[in-house]
Chain A
Amino acid sequence: MQATKSFEQAFLKQMLLGIQLSAVSHGSGSLQERKSAIKLSADVAMAVARGSKKWTRGLIASLSKEEQNRSFLQFVLGKEFERPAKICHSSWKIPRSKNIVRRSLRFLSKRKSNIRAPNSSVLAGTLVEKRTQVLKRLVPGGQSMDAFSLLDETLDYAACLRAQVDVMQKLMTTLEASKHSDAQRPKEKFHLLPMVGSWYSTRKGLRKRLSKRPKLTL
């Protein structure tokens, strides 16, 4: 996925709507409740802004397992939420890709372990499998994914998480800054999301782009 400006904007808007919905801004409820509400808004917003992916469906599914989230999800997702979650049992679909990925991953490990004892490549395979299981637990909906989908969904999920963090951070910064500034100042349009272009650029390009980011003007 290309974590574009439009994703960030959609995410921000959706999250703020969600926060308003859960009345966090009114300051009611305990600190823990408010924090959970914001996290819930952020996660739902991320899934909604991204659209239909295996991990977004997995995320909504796991969120809806908790009783206290249901009314919020119902309200935000409406009809979408009532539809029974289609869990993807598609591991039979591309049986070959699983083995191909395993071979490729083992090949990667073998290249490094060439100098070492012949046993180590077998061990490397087990370690890869163990860590794949860990990754499956971390990526929403990962348990029912074949190896190829897992890699693909991981990429997408990680990029969205990164954007989620960035937007929340920017929101924090903006709100904190305005707290310290003069409240009488005329309300300007805050350019919260100046980033454009693809995130899957080269590391150099990304660094260059980040350094060019205009500072927030208040």
Chain B
Amino acid sequence: MSSRRSRVSEEEINELISKLQSLLPEARRRGGGRASAAKLLKETCNYIRSLNREVDDLSGRLSALMATMDNNSAEAEIIRSLLRS
């Protein structure tokens, strides 16, 4: 096992892990990023699940909103202008 190679890779991995930590919403960071890997994974999974739930919820609300939109409404015009830009 080439030690030089594993050292570089471990750096990359640590970078990934710290990026993941900073991506997560305000997780308690007592004494600087010493969250355990298990905790990090759990919070990552929870974060992804909650984002998926939000998308699901927003899809429902958008569909209800758009159902009441007619072609001449301001909302339809917004959508058209967004598509033109």
Contact = CB atoms under 8 A, between A and B. Distances in A.
Chain B associates with chain A: yes
B interface majority secondary structure: helix
Interface string B57-83: 011111111111100011111110111
A171 interface: yes
B74 A165 contact: no
Contacts of A189: 81, 85
Interface residues of B, number: 55
Nearest to A175: B75
A135 B12 CA distance: 20
Interface string B5-31: 110011011101101101100000000
Interface in A7-49: 9, 12-13, 16-17, 19-20, 24-25, 27, 31, 34-39, 42-43
A187 B81 CA distance: 9
A176 to B, nearest CB: 7
B82 A96 contact: no
A132 interface: yes
A190 interface: yes
Contacts of A169: 58
A35 B60 contact: yes
Contacts of A187: 74, 77, 81
Nearest to A25: B66
A46 B57 CA distance: 17
B63 A24 contact: yes
A131 B45 contact: yes
Contacts of A97: 9, 13
B82 A172 contact: no
Interface in A143-200: 148, 151-152, 154-155, 157-159, 161-162, 164-165, 168-169, 171-172, 174-176, 178-179, 181, 183, 185, 187, 189-190, 192, 200
Given A109-B38, A124-B36, A165 B54 contact: yes
A181 B16 contact: no
A191 to B, nearest CB: 10
A69 to B, nearest CB: 14
Contacts of A181: 74
Interface of B: 1, 5-6, 9-10, 12-14, 16-17, 19-20, 22-23, 34-38, 40-42, 44-45, 47-49, 51-52, 54-56, 58-69, 73-79, 81-83, 85
Given A31-B63, A179-B75, 12 more contacts: A16-B82, A20-B83, A25-B66, A27-B66, A27-B67, A27-B68, A34-B63, A97-B9, A124-B36, A165-B54, A175-B62, A187-B81
16 contacts: A13-B85, A24-B63, A25-B66, A31-B60, A38-B62, A104-B13, A105-B37, A108-B36, A108-B37, A128-B38, A131-B41, A131-B45, A134-B41, A138-B45, A172-B58, A200-B19
